[in-house]
A and B are shown apart, each in its own frame.
Chain A
């Protein structure tokens, strides 16, 4: 028995321990900046103390000499760990659906991303609809159940989307009659829904008994009442401007624009509005609306005072977000410290969890990573990844783990061969190609079982 029931699951789930990481280069993400030869004490799931020559009796000591200690990477835009569909793309507003209902705790990508230093991810609905579904925020507590992975008391978010995907530009000829089919139609989706949400609010206030409760409207109302926040897939400047104006008309701030590849064109407006930008570092030209993307986007937005994050939107890239952060140094000349915040403190701010994570500061959650070298280097490897002071990934153990997986595989294969010889019926090996979701993934044939 392992938890979860896959390779690299735990036979015995790891526990919170007291750790003392000694003599590392600590990237605090605070006013202290990057501190050399510094110790970090982890206790009861929190960062207890950051300082020089710390002592703690009974602590497990980890030698950090020559290594770098940072807070864990936070991926603002992820589609891993989701079961059976990332898009409810059959209606143009699916605000009633919740990624939180379909979190897949048993996805091996969680483990792989721990190995890349990621500790928290926002799991998003895809970009099939102008109004998508409610997001889920999870910590990578590998082995836990879906509910146990959820980031406690976090603000609720919802996915919006603009551009080609939501007006079904590339869905094929069978998909031409869903409203909206134009960008101006997309704007009206929001105007219409927010107007209806206010009407719904009034109706429910006036007559709570007889007014039908509508989960979709409930969610939209949360946005208007600043109880839920929007992360919006967006590319071209016109639609970015449009949505900020719509938000202002309805009295709320658009929290985050994601992808935001033309953000550099409207960065000043974004900063004034208060919107953040969670972007790719350097993706470009994969469809018409991203032709004007440039890798300096992040740095330019940052220079205007926009809170900028780099995200993955991809199961594979999420394993090397540390390298993505480095591109902010390469393109735009940010300092290493500022670049590192693109994958740590800034996404924490965008997600409103910077009071708990995103920097190495006493009192915050012990979601930290010990790197073999400067985390921005391509040579860097995560050696130890902690979530809530639990060592969920340890490079030292990795070789033994892989050997154990091999041994177990060999044992079971032998057992199956014996079974066949013994006359047991066999079946051909099933090839379970895992679905790696991305924004545009649609189960168009509908998922039937």
Chain B
């Protein structure tokens, strides 16, 4: 288990080099099973079940076994979590990961009316309707963006191009650093709608009622096309529209009344929409509950107004101020009304606010269980991938995070984010507190090495003699340590590893001679009373 993290990183690189099925391989095969066993863990297998002192075994990117009496298989790399927590990683249903932002087709000279679509091909007359767009076809793994999401505990997203009245399909992808073939879990995971025409330069529709009429007419046209229209005309958009009807349907709305407006369309054409709202659903809770629809809600609670100046305060709208106060209660109110909902981090300027604001919602009445459900289980269910992700169960994909504490505890830190069995180390486990006093043995000398300062800002100093204390530059990463200090004729540079409380390794003197060194721990750190 020593040098665990080093071995994890090595294995991870090996896996990413492993060739895809159907791809030729240049070099010898080096397939690693990725067999790990996490023991002594507090495993939250789902939003409603927690196992203490449990074991999780993963292999080939999948969960092989999870439970309190699981036997660790031979050859597994064992990770002792010592009570730390495992949660299913989070899922975001409103994302554009791996996709380019939509661009208008052609251009129109400013303000000139554009009557028809600029898009060539046998498609719908209106640019804002793009049922033929497939996110999976355009999707490209973007590890930098993925990293930005993994950092906050996310393991999978439903990605779609966020533009237009009909946006085509979205794909469910894992946030893995692999080729697209491994990242895409479900290529056609949903069809997306909104009332905004987005980047379309076409004049129609220019009003909300126009968007609604356009949708209704297109539903009718799609039905006509299916029955007999296809004999008169070829329309690839309508064909896609009809094909997409079997998928979960998501509808992006801008306010609570738009949920009711979209629902009228839904009822008229016998479809079910999952509404991506804007957080004001509590204002018309009853009416929204009666639609029977599930929701995806943001947690971008509005900031307070700066009303220092009384004239500014005069301008503040009462409804906006009331919403500032009540927005954090929205999730709790939805839960109380038994409305199924998932969270999204859409709308947040800083992704770190996702967990922060969910904790705020918990303070305002949401149960921790309902919060975790909305972060993991419900989004998986709504995207139709609950058999693969969303909980930690044998047979599902190894998508989970390791946290220092309960997810909603103060000071909780995400240590690892495992995506499809790939480790992503955010903060190494067992970050040792190095502070204390050591005897540094090197080049025949034994000097006192003191480590002090803040946990994140260590200070190393070396006492050469009664009058001289040198400042020591240090780098400490995982279990690797390097020290250097300037004495007499130049810099002595030492490099080694941490072994329990002591350090040892090799280094060079100022003249380039290689030496062995060690640091023996003699006294622990005593915090100075403030």
Chain A residues with a Cβ under 8 A of chain B = 1-2, 4-7, 83-91, 94, 96-99, 101-102, 104-106, 125, 133, 145-147, 172, 174-175, 177-178, 209-210, 212-215, 405, 408-409, 412-413, 415-417, 419-420, 424-432, 442-449
Contacts and interface: CB of A to CB of B under 8 A. Distances in A.
Given A424-B304, A432-B317, 11 more contacts: A5-B322, A83-B208, A85-B209, A88-B213, A98-B213, A146-B260, A215-B213, A408-B322, A409-B321, A427-B302, A432-B320
A242 B210 CA distance: 29
A65 B212 CA distance: 50
B197 interface: yes
What size tier do the contact residues of chain B reach? 35 or more
Instruction: List 6 tightest A-B contacts by C-beta distance, closest first.
Output: A85-B207, A84-B208, A90-B203, A449-B196, A412-B321, A426-B306
A69 B496 CA distance: 95
Contacts of B52: none
A425 B315 contact: no
Contacts of A7: 318-319
A91 B204 contact: yes
Nearest to B214: A96
Interface of B: 111-113, 115, 195-199, 203-210, 212-213, 216-217, 220-221, 224, 227-229, 231-232, 254, 257, 260-261, 264, 280, 282-284, 287, 302-308, 312-313, 315-326
A444 B224 CA distance: 32
A432 to B, nearest CB: 6
Which secondary structure dominates chain A's binding surface? loop
A413 B321 contact: yes
Contacts of B112: 174
A90 B205 contact: yes
Nearest to B210: A88
Contacts of A427: 302-306
A430 B205 contact: no
B174 to A, nearest CB: 30
Contacts of B287: 145
A106 B258 CA distance: 13
Contacts of B111: 172, 174, 444-445
Contacts of A408: 318, 322
Given A97-B209, A98-B209, A174-B112, A5 B319 contact: yes
A409 B115 CA distance: 47
B207 A420 contact: no
Nearest to A444: B111
Contacts of B316: 409, 413, 429
A186 to B, nearest CB: 18
Q: Which of B282, B283, B308, B320 has the most CB of A within 10 A?
A: B283
Contacts of A213: 220, 224
B4 to A, nearest CB: 39
B113 A174 contact: yes
B304 A443 contact: no
A429 B303 CA distance: 10
Given A101-B208, A209-B228, A413-B313, A446 B197 contact: yes
Nearest to A128: B206
Given A210-B228, A426-B306, A429-B306, A86 B257 contact: no
B264 A101 contact: yes
Contacts of B113: 90, 174-175, 177-178
B198 A448 contact: yes
A147 to B, nearest CB: 7
Contacts of A89: 206
A426 B208 CA distance: 32
B213 A97 contact: yes
Contacts of B315: 429, 431
A417 B207 contact: no
A415 B304 CA distance: 9
B24 to A, nearest CB: 47
